[in-house]
Structure 1
Amino acid sequence: MAQMNIENLTSELIVDEALKLKPYHCTAGKLTIGIGRNLEDVGISTDEARYLLKNDIDRVCAQLDAALPWWRTMSERRQRVLANMCFNMGIGNSTRGLLSFRNTLASMQRGDYRAAARGMRDSSWAKQVGARAERLAKMMEEG
Protein backbone atom coordinates (compact mmCIF):
# COMPACT_ATOMS: atom_id res chain seq x y z
CA MET A 1 0.00 0.00 0.00
CA ALA A 2 1.46 3.36 -1.05
CA GLN A 3 1.82 6.13 1.48
CA MET A 4 0.01 9.35 0.53
CA ASN A 5 2.20 12.42 0.07
CA ILE A 6 0.72 14.92 2.55
CA GLU A 7 2.73 17.85 1.11
CA ASN A 8 1.26 17.24 -2.36
CA LEU A 9 -2.26 16.92 -0.93
CA THR A 10 -1.74 20.15 1.02
CA SER A 11 -0.67 22.01 -2.14
CA GLU A 12 -3.65 20.63 -4.08
CA LEU A 13 -6.12 21.59 -1.36
CA ILE A 14 -4.72 25.12 -1.20
CA VAL A 15 -5.31 25.41 -4.95
CA ASP A 16 -8.80 23.87 -4.78
CA GLU A 17 -10.06 25.46 -1.57
CA ALA A 18 -7.99 28.69 -1.51
CA LEU A 19 -6.58 30.34 1.58
CA LYS A 20 -9.13 32.69 3.15
CA LEU A 21 -8.03 34.50 6.29
CA LYS A 22 -11.48 35.84 7.11
CA PRO A 23 -14.71 33.84 7.49
CA TYR A 24 -16.80 33.33 4.36
CA HIS A 25 -19.69 31.15 3.26
CA CYS A 26 -18.68 28.25 1.03
CA THR A 27 -20.73 27.04 -1.94
CA ALA A 28 -22.77 24.88 0.47
CA GLY A 29 -23.55 27.97 2.56
CA LYS A 30 -21.40 26.89 5.53
CA LEU A 31 -19.33 29.40 7.48
CA THR A 32 -15.74 28.56 6.50
CA ILE A 33 -12.24 29.89 7.15
CA GLY A 34 -8.63 29.06 6.32
CA ILE A 35 -8.30 26.35 3.70
CA GLY A 36 -11.83 25.00 3.61
CA ARG A 37 -12.35 24.65 7.40
CA ASN A 38 -16.10 24.26 7.93
CA LEU A 39 -16.62 26.14 11.18
CA GLU A 40 -20.26 25.16 11.54
CA ASP A 41 -19.79 21.38 11.37
CA VAL A 42 -16.12 20.97 12.39
CA GLY A 43 -15.33 24.04 14.49
CA ILE A 44 -11.83 24.20 15.95
CA SER A 45 -10.00 22.06 18.48
CA THR A 46 -8.86 23.19 21.92
CA ASP A 47 -5.25 23.18 20.64
CA GLU A 48 -6.26 25.39 17.71
CA ALA A 49 -8.13 27.78 20.02
CA ARG A 50 -5.10 28.03 22.31
CA TYR A 51 -2.82 28.63 19.31
CA LEU A 52 -5.10 31.47 18.14
CA LEU A 53 -5.19 32.88 21.68
CA LYS A 54 -1.38 32.89 21.92
CA ASN A 55 -1.20 34.83 18.64
CA ASP A 56 -3.89 37.25 19.86
CA ILE A 57 -2.01 37.83 23.13
CA ASP A 58 1.20 38.51 21.17
CA ARG A 59 -0.70 41.01 18.97
CA VAL A 60 -2.24 42.76 22.01
CA CYS A 61 1.15 43.06 23.73
CA ALA A 62 2.70 44.51 20.58
CA GLN A 63 -0.14 47.06 20.35
CA LEU A 64 0.37 48.02 24.00
CA ASP A 65 4.15 48.33 23.45
CA ALA A 66 3.54 50.69 20.54
CA ALA A 67 0.79 52.81 22.10
CA LEU A 68 1.71 52.77 25.81
CA PRO A 69 5.43 52.04 26.15
CA TRP A 70 5.27 52.69 29.92
CA TRP A 71 2.88 49.77 30.52
CA ARG A 72 5.81 47.35 30.99
CA THR A 73 6.98 49.36 34.04
CA MET A 74 3.92 48.30 36.04
CA SER A 75 3.80 45.09 38.06
CA GLU A 76 3.17 41.88 36.12
CA ARG A 77 -0.36 41.67 37.56
CA ARG A 78 -1.21 45.21 36.41
CA GLN A 79 0.26 44.46 32.98
CA ARG A 80 -2.18 41.54 32.77
CA VAL A 81 -5.05 43.91 33.55
CA LEU A 82 -4.12 46.19 30.64
CA ALA A 83 -3.60 43.25 28.28
CA ASN A 84 -6.95 41.77 29.32
CA MET A 85 -8.74 45.08 28.71
CA CYS A 86 -7.01 45.53 25.35
CA PHE A 87 -7.91 41.98 24.37
CA ASN A 88 -11.54 42.65 25.29
CA MET A 89 -12.12 46.03 23.65
CA GLY A 90 -9.19 46.50 21.28
CA ILE A 91 -6.49 49.15 21.47
CA GLY A 92 -8.82 51.60 19.71
CA ASN A 93 -8.20 55.33 19.67
CA SER A 94 -9.21 58.41 21.66
CA THR A 95 -12.93 57.74 21.16
CA ARG A 96 -13.21 53.95 21.51
CA GLY A 97 -11.28 50.99 22.87
CA LEU A 98 -8.60 51.01 25.53
CA LEU A 99 -7.04 54.30 24.39
CA SER A 100 -10.34 56.08 25.09
CA PHE A 101 -9.64 55.55 28.83
CA ARG A 102 -7.41 58.65 28.79
CA ASN A 103 -7.79 59.63 32.48
CA THR A 104 -7.59 56.02 33.68
CA LEU A 105 -4.44 55.40 31.63
CA ALA A 106 -2.91 58.64 32.89
CA SER A 107 -3.62 57.48 36.48
CA MET A 108 -1.90 54.18 35.75
CA GLN A 109 1.10 55.88 34.20
CA ARG A 110 1.63 58.10 37.25
CA GLY A 111 1.14 55.16 39.62
CA ASP A 112 -2.21 56.25 41.06
CA TYR A 113 -3.76 52.80 40.88
CA ARG A 114 -6.69 53.63 43.15
CA ALA A 115 -7.79 56.38 40.73
CA ALA A 116 -7.19 54.03 37.80
CA ALA A 117 -9.40 51.37 39.38
CA ARG A 118 -12.08 53.99 40.06
CA GLY A 119 -11.96 55.04 36.40
CA MET A 120 -12.31 51.43 35.31
CA ARG A 121 -15.31 50.88 37.61
CA ASP A 122 -17.03 54.11 36.50
CA SER A 123 -16.86 53.29 32.78
CA SER A 124 -19.58 52.07 30.44
CA TRP A 125 -17.22 49.16 29.73
CA ALA A 126 -17.61 48.06 33.38
CA LYS A 127 -21.39 48.04 33.00
CA GLN A 128 -21.03 45.84 29.91
CA VAL A 129 -18.62 43.26 31.33
CA GLY A 130 -19.74 43.30 35.00
CA ALA A 131 -17.72 40.93 37.19
CA ARG A 132 -14.77 40.98 34.81
CA ALA A 133 -14.36 44.74 35.28
CA GLU A 134 -14.62 44.47 39.07
CA ARG A 135 -12.02 41.68 39.16
CA LEU A 136 -9.63 43.65 36.93
CA ALA A 137 -10.17 46.90 38.87
CA LYS A 138 -9.34 45.07 42.10
CA MET A 139 -6.18 43.64 40.49
CA MET A 140 -5.21 47.14 39.34
CA GLU A 141 -5.82 48.59 42.79
CA GLU A 142 -4.00 45.89 44.73
CA GLY A 143 -1.22 45.23 42.24
Structure 2
Amino acid sequence: MMKDKLIEMLKAEEGLRLKPYTCPAGKLNIGVGRNIEDRGISEDEAMYLLKNDIEMVLNELAHNFNWFRSAPETVQIVLADMCFNMGISRLRQFKNTLAYLESRNYQAAAVEMLDSAWAKQVGGRALKLSDMIRGI
Protein backbone atom coordinates (compact mmCIF):
# COMPACT_ATOMS: atom_id res chain seq x y z
CA MET A 1 0.00 0.00 0.00
CA MET A 2 1.26 3.44 -0.92
CA LYS A 3 0.28 5.01 2.43
CA ASP A 4 2.10 2.32 4.42
CA LYS A 5 5.26 2.87 2.37
CA LEU A 6 4.96 6.63 2.87
CA ILE A 7 4.52 6.18 6.62
CA GLU A 8 7.67 4.08 6.87
CA MET A 9 9.61 6.53 4.70
CA LEU A 10 8.51 9.58 6.73
CA LYS A 11 9.22 7.82 10.04
CA ALA A 12 12.74 7.03 8.79
CA GLU A 13 13.33 10.59 7.53
CA GLU A 14 11.59 12.61 10.24
CA GLY A 15 11.97 10.21 13.15
CA LEU A 16 9.30 9.37 15.70
CA ARG A 17 9.39 11.48 18.84
CA LEU A 18 6.79 11.08 21.51
CA LYS A 19 7.62 14.31 23.31
CA PRO A 20 7.71 17.82 21.85
CA TYR A 21 10.95 18.86 20.20
CA THR A 22 12.24 21.80 18.20
CA CYS A 23 12.89 20.99 14.54
CA PRO A 24 15.78 22.51 12.54
CA ALA A 25 13.43 25.30 11.38
CA GLY A 26 12.90 26.28 15.04
CA LYS A 27 9.29 25.07 15.21
CA LEU A 28 7.80 22.96 17.98
CA ASN A 29 7.03 19.46 16.64
CA ILE A 30 5.81 16.12 17.96
CA GLY A 31 5.31 12.64 16.56
CA VAL A 32 6.53 12.29 12.99
CA GLY A 33 7.26 15.90 12.09
CA ARG A 34 3.91 17.36 13.20
CA ASN A 35 4.42 21.12 13.46
CA ILE A 36 2.20 21.82 16.45
CA GLU A 37 3.09 25.51 16.50
CA ASP A 38 1.63 26.27 13.09
CA ARG A 39 -0.67 23.31 12.52
CA GLY A 40 -1.79 22.37 16.02
CA ILE A 41 -4.10 19.38 16.31
CA SER A 42 -7.67 18.73 15.22
CA GLU A 43 -10.59 18.41 17.61
CA ASP A 44 -10.75 14.68 16.83
CA GLU A 45 -7.07 14.34 17.74
CA ALA A 46 -7.61 16.30 20.95
CA MET A 47 -10.52 14.03 21.93
CA TYR A 48 -8.46 10.92 21.10
CA LEU A 49 -5.68 12.18 23.39
CA LEU A 50 -8.19 13.08 26.11
CA LYS A 51 -9.77 9.62 26.04
CA ASN A 52 -6.32 8.04 26.35
CA ASP A 53 -5.45 10.39 29.22
CA ILE A 54 -8.73 9.60 31.01
CA GLU A 55 -8.06 5.86 30.69
CA MET A 56 -4.57 6.36 32.13
CA VAL A 57 -5.95 8.42 35.04
CA LEU A 58 -8.64 5.83 35.85
CA ASN A 59 -6.03 3.07 35.84
CA GLU A 60 -3.72 5.09 38.10
CA LEU A 61 -6.58 5.71 40.54
CA ALA A 62 -7.59 2.03 40.61
CA HIS A 63 -3.95 1.01 41.09
CA ASN A 64 -3.37 3.48 43.95
CA PHE A 65 -6.70 3.21 45.78
CA ASN A 66 -8.17 -0.29 46.08
CA TRP A 67 -11.57 1.21 46.98
CA PHE A 68 -11.75 3.48 43.91
CA ARG A 69 -13.78 1.21 41.60
CA SER A 70 -16.37 0.48 44.31
CA ALA A 71 -16.81 4.17 45.17
CA PRO A 72 -19.91 5.99 43.92
CA GLU A 73 -19.62 7.28 40.36
CA THR A 74 -19.52 10.90 41.56
CA VAL A 75 -16.48 10.14 43.73
CA GLN A 76 -14.79 8.45 40.79
CA ILE A 77 -15.49 11.43 38.53
CA VAL A 78 -14.25 13.97 41.08
CA LEU A 79 -11.06 12.02 41.80
CA ALA A 80 -10.43 11.54 38.07
CA ASP A 81 -10.86 15.29 37.51
CA MET A 82 -8.45 16.08 40.34
CA CYS A 83 -5.92 13.49 39.18
CA PHE A 84 -6.12 14.75 35.60
CA ASN A 85 -5.46 18.27 36.87
CA MET A 86 -2.62 17.64 39.32
CA GLY A 87 -1.34 14.11 38.73
CA ILE A 88 -1.46 11.07 40.95
CA SER A 89 1.57 12.08 43.05
CA ARG A 90 -0.02 15.34 44.19
CA LEU A 91 -3.44 13.75 44.62
CA ARG A 92 -1.93 11.13 46.95
CA GLN A 93 -0.94 13.99 49.27
CA PHE A 94 -4.65 14.66 49.98
CA LYS A 95 -4.47 12.05 52.75
CA ASN A 96 -7.40 13.37 54.83
CA THR A 97 -9.66 13.89 51.81
CA LEU A 98 -8.88 10.41 50.52
CA ALA A 99 -9.43 8.82 53.94
CA TYR A 100 -12.80 10.54 54.25
CA LEU A 101 -13.80 9.46 50.74
CA GLU A 102 -12.79 5.88 51.46
CA SER A 103 -14.85 5.86 54.67
CA ARG A 104 -17.73 7.56 52.81
CA ASN A 105 -17.67 10.65 55.04
CA TYR A 106 -18.46 12.94 52.13
CA GLN A 107 -19.17 16.10 54.10
CA ALA A 108 -15.75 16.01 55.75
CA ALA A 109 -14.09 15.13 52.43
CA ALA A 110 -15.74 18.14 50.77
CA VAL A 111 -14.40 20.45 53.48
CA GLU A 112 -10.89 18.95 53.32
CA MET A 113 -10.74 19.37 49.53
CA LEU A 114 -11.08 23.12 49.95
CA ASP A 115 -8.38 23.30 52.64
CA SER A 116 -5.50 23.11 50.16
CA ALA A 117 -3.19 25.16 47.98
CA TRP A 118 -4.76 23.36 45.01
CA ALA A 119 -8.21 24.77 45.87
CA LYS A 120 -6.77 28.29 45.96
CA GLN A 121 -5.06 27.73 42.60
CA VAL A 122 -8.06 26.33 40.72
CA GLY A 123 -10.78 28.38 42.48
CA GLY A 124 -14.20 27.60 41.03
CA ARG A 125 -13.13 24.15 39.87
CA ALA A 126 -12.41 23.13 43.48
CA LEU A 127 -15.73 24.58 44.66
CA LYS A 128 -17.62 22.67 41.98
CA LEU A 129 -15.89 19.38 42.80
CA SER A 130 -16.36 19.89 46.52
CA ASP A 131 -20.06 20.61 45.96
CA MET A 132 -20.36 17.40 43.92
CA ILE A 133 -18.95 15.41 46.85
CA ARG A 134 -21.11 17.27 49.35
CA GLY A 135 -24.20 16.37 47.29
CA ILE A 136 -23.71 12.59 47.55
User: Matched residue pairs, number?
Assistant: 136
Q: 2:45 is aligned with what amino acid?
A: E
Counterpart CA distance in 2 for 1:123 and 1:56 is 25
Q: Write the deviation string for residues 45-87 of structure 1: whole angstroms up to 9, x where unpaired.
A: 0000000000000000110011001012221111100000000
Give 1:103's aligned amino acid.
N
TM alignment of 1:1-143, pairs within 5 A: 5-92=2-89, 97-143=90-136
Q: Which consecutive segments of 4 or more residues in structure 1 shift more than 6 A?
A: none
Alpha-carbon offset, residue 33 of structure 1? 0.2
List alignment gaps of at least 5 residues for structure 2: none
Say which is worse superposed, 70-79 or 34-43, in terms of deviation.
70-79
The residue identity in structure 1 corresponding to 2:118 is W
Percentage of matched positions with identical amino acids: 54
After superposition, the CA RMSD in angstroms is 0.9
Unaligned runs of 5+ in 1: none
Query: TM-score normalised to the size of structure 2?
Result: 0.98
